[in-house]
Amino acid sequence: MSLDITRPLALMSIVLGVVLYLYGQFVAIPFAFDIPHGVVPIKIDQPCGLFYVLFGLVVWQFGRFSKIKTLHAEIKKREKELKIKEPVVAQDQEAEPKPVPEAESKSETTSDSEQNPDSENKV
């Protein structure tokens, strides 16, 4: 799935938060809210808007973090795959030698030797 849902989620929270905060700041009228020892005037839109913006920023960062983590995991997985496959490819080549164009065979040998110095002997 190419769509990373953390982006729309973060954006939605930030946009809604900004709208609420600005409305609370410039338009809303405070209302008297009863607490145990009296009454306080509050504009509920402001703290809620601020919280949504913060939530959106946290989700945005979380999305970035999880994307980097996924990429790292995929790189590690790929590296692991390549190390496992090398000896198998070498054995196959020993069993059935196929005619390979010169340019390709040279590049393969160099890349193998760069990744794993032992593979040079096998090839």
Give the residue, chosen from 29, 88, 95, 103, that forms a contact with other proteins under the rule CB under 8 A.
Answer: 29
Binding residues for other proteins, rule CB under 8 A, total 32
Q: Which is nearer to other proteins, 3 or 103 (CB)?
A: 3
In the bound complex, what is the minimum distance in angstroms from residue 83's beta carbon to other proteins? Answer: 22
Work out whether 39 is an interface residue with other proteins (CB under 8 A): no
Work out whether 73 is an interface residue with other proteins (CB under 8 A): no
- Distances from the Cα of 10 to the Cα of 23, 66, 105, angstroms: 20, 14, 50
Read off the tokens for 64.
């970035």
Tracing tokens 């973060």 back to the chain, one arrives at: 10
Residue 28's nearest CA partner among 9, 13, 14, 47 is 47
Whole-angstrom Cα distance, residue 23 to residue 29?
10
- By the criterion CB under 8 A, which residues form the site for other proteins? 1-3, 5, 8-9, 11-13, 15-16, 19-20, 23-24, 27-29, 31, 33-36, 43-45, 47-49, 52, 55, 66
